[in-house]
Structure formats: structure tokens, C-alpha cells
Structure 1
Amino acid sequence: MKQIQNLIENLELCIPGCDSAPMYTPLPTTLEPGTVLDWLYKNLGEQDLMVYEEWTEYSGYTPELKPLKNITLPIDITDFIFNCVENIDWSESNIEPWELPYFIPWLEHINYYLKPHGVRLVNILPFENAYIICLRDDDTLIQKLHLSLEDLGMGINKREPLDQQQVLLELHSIISG
């Protein structure tokens, strides 16, 4: 269980307000990614440090996570991105309309506005839907957490910050291929 110990230590370093003490009892019963993810979700969710979102239902709102409670974003991310995608000519698109929710850079754009606050939203890989956590925006710490998750068959989608122009370019690239 050295891998779990390493993961707990990195979570405590990376997640603002994380109390690692409750994570030690009980530990996950196996090191299978699904079991570890369930354990993470239970422990971090109880501290308001992880949320689950289905990409097809997520629409760019700021997740209700403890490190974000006192942060207000200067724009409505949802309105901005919906305005960007409302006039898509699907006959010229390389993706199907149902695929779009999986590619919209919601978290990347939110992260642009979170950067001055020193935090970043990421999601745990390789799962179809999003297990979102808020980390300190420190590449070294994020990489250490990613490596500790990688030892358990998982990882972090780092969700690099994108400003409005970068979001437009990303959406155009996704849609036109």
C-alpha cells in the first residue's frame, strides 16, 4: 500500500484544504483503478474536494468545491462558450453534435480565470466522465500527483488555462478537424 500512502501525501500537498487523516481508514481494498477512484471520490467528496460530472450534462458552471467557495469569475463561462458553438454548421463538421460535450474546453477556460488565484481544475483520467478536483496551480506538484496516480492506472488531465481567443481556436479545431 506504499502507492496509496504516496497518493495521500501528494493529494494533501496539491489540494488546498485537504485533510488526509480520514483517508487512512479505511484504505482501498485493492489497487484496481475503479476501487481507488471510488475510495478517492468518497473521501474527497465528503470534504467538498471532488465532484462527479457527466460531460453530456455539464455546462461550464464552476464546480462546488471548497477551494473555490470564495472565488467569483469575472465572466459567465457558459454564455461565452454557448455563443461560440450556437451557429455550428454540422454538415461541415468532423464530429457529430452528440460528441461536442466531450470536447468543449470548459475547465480550461475556467482555469484561465482561476490562474490569478493560484488554483486549477483538473479531472482524473481515464474515465469517461469527469471526477473534478481543484489543485494548487503548481506544475511540479501536479506532476508528482499525476505520477502517483499513474502508479495506480490513472492520471490527471491537466486542463491548461485558455483565454477567450484560445477557446475559439480550440473549438474551431475540434469542429473542423
Structure 2
Amino acid sequence: MEQIKNLITALQQCIPELETAPLYANLPVNIEQYSVLEWLYEHLAEQNLMVYEEWTEYSGYIPELKPLDNVFLSEEPADFIFTLIEKIDWSTASIDPYELPYIMPWFEHINFYLKPHGVRLVDLTPFENAYILCLRDDKESLEKLLSSLATFGIGINERHVMDQQQVSDNIESMISE
């Protein structure tokens, strides 16, 4: 269980407002990937530090996570992406419109607005749907968390920042491939 304790330490460094006592009090039954994922989700969701979203139902809104409670954004990041989606000529697009929820750079664009606040949205991999966290935007602590999670076959989709031009270029590239 030393691996779990290392993970808790890494989580504490990365997740604002994390209370570690509940994690230590109720360790996972084993260190298999899905046991660790269930344990993480149970304890982090209880603290409003992780949410689960099915990609088919996610449309770019900012998740209700405790570290974002006091963050005010000057605009809704998803609105810009929706204006780009509305302009797509589907008769010439190389992707199926049903693929959009899976490939849109929602978090990357939200992270552009979150960067001045020192946090970013990420999701855990390699799972079909999104387990979303808000982490401190600190490379060193993120690397420690990545290393700790890798022990259990879990990764992080880091979701690097994309401004409006980068989002526009990304979407244009996706639909014209």
C-alpha cells in the first residue's frame, strides 16, 4: 500500500482543497486499476473534486468542481467553440458530426481561461468516458501525480492550453483531414 500512500501525497500536491484523511481512512481493496479508479472517484467526488461525464453528453460547460467555486471567467469558453461548429459545412467535412463530443478541445480552451488562476482541467485515461479533475497548473507536481498514477495503469490527459486561434486551427484541421 506504499504505492497508494505515494498517490495520496501526489494528489495532495496537485488538487486544491483536497482532504486526505478520508483517503487514508478507507484505502482501496487492492491496487488493480479499476479498484483504484473507483476508490479515487468515490473519495474525490464526495469532496466535489472529481466529476464523471459521458463524452456524448458533455458540451463544453465548466464542471462544478470545488477548486473552481471562486473562479470567475469573463466569458463562457464553450460559446466560441459552438460558433465554430455552427459554421462547419458538413457536406465537405471528413468527420461524422457524432464524433464531435469526443474530439472537441473543450478542456483545452477552458484551460486557456483558467491559466491565470493557476489551475487546469484534466481527465483520467485510458477510460471510455471522462473522470474530470481540476489540478494546480504546476509541472513538477503534475509529473509526480502522473508517475504515481502510472503505477496503476492510469494516466492523465493533460489538456494543454488552446487560445481561440489554436482552437479554430485545431477544429479546421480535424474536419478537413
Q: Common fold, TM-score beyond 0.5? A: yes
Q: Secondary structure at the match of 1:73?
A: coil
1:31 correspondence with 2:31: yes
2:118/2:136 contact within 8 Å kept: yes
- Separation in structure 1 between the aligned mates of residue 125 and residue 91 of structure 2, nearest angstrom: 31
Give aligned pairs, total.
177
Counterpart for residue 135 of structure 1: 135
Mapping for residues 1-177 of structure 1, pairs under 5 Å? 1-177=1-177
Give the Cα separation in 2 of the matches to 1:95 and 1:34.
32
State the one-letter code of the partner of 1:167.
V
User: CA offsets, 1:23-69, max 9 Å, x none?
Assistant: 01221112121111110010000111000111111111111111100
- Cα distance in structure 1, aligned partners of 2:10 and 2:22: 15
Q: CA deviation at 1:92?
A: 2.5
CA RMSD in angstroms comes to 1.0
In 1, are the aligned partners of 2:120 and 2:134 still within 8 Å (CA)? Answer: yes
- State the alpha-carbon separation in 2 of the partners of residues 86 and 31 from structure 1: 45
Amino acid at match of 2:109: H
Q: Deviations over 1:113-136 (max 9, x none)?
A: 110000011001111111000110
Task: Provide the C-alpha distance between the structure 1 equivalents of 2:50 and 2:121, rounded to a whole number of angstroms.
Answer: 10
- For structure 1, the 5+ residue unaligned runs are none
Over the matched positions of the two proteins, sequence identity in percent amounts to 59
In the TM superposition, residue 138 of structure 1 has moved relative to its aligned partner by 0.4
Unaligned runs of 5+ in 2: none
Alignment deviations for residues 63-121 of structure 1 (CA, whole Å, 9 cap, x no partner): 11111001111112222111101132233223211111101011110100110000011
Q: TM-score, normalised by structure 2?
A: 0.96
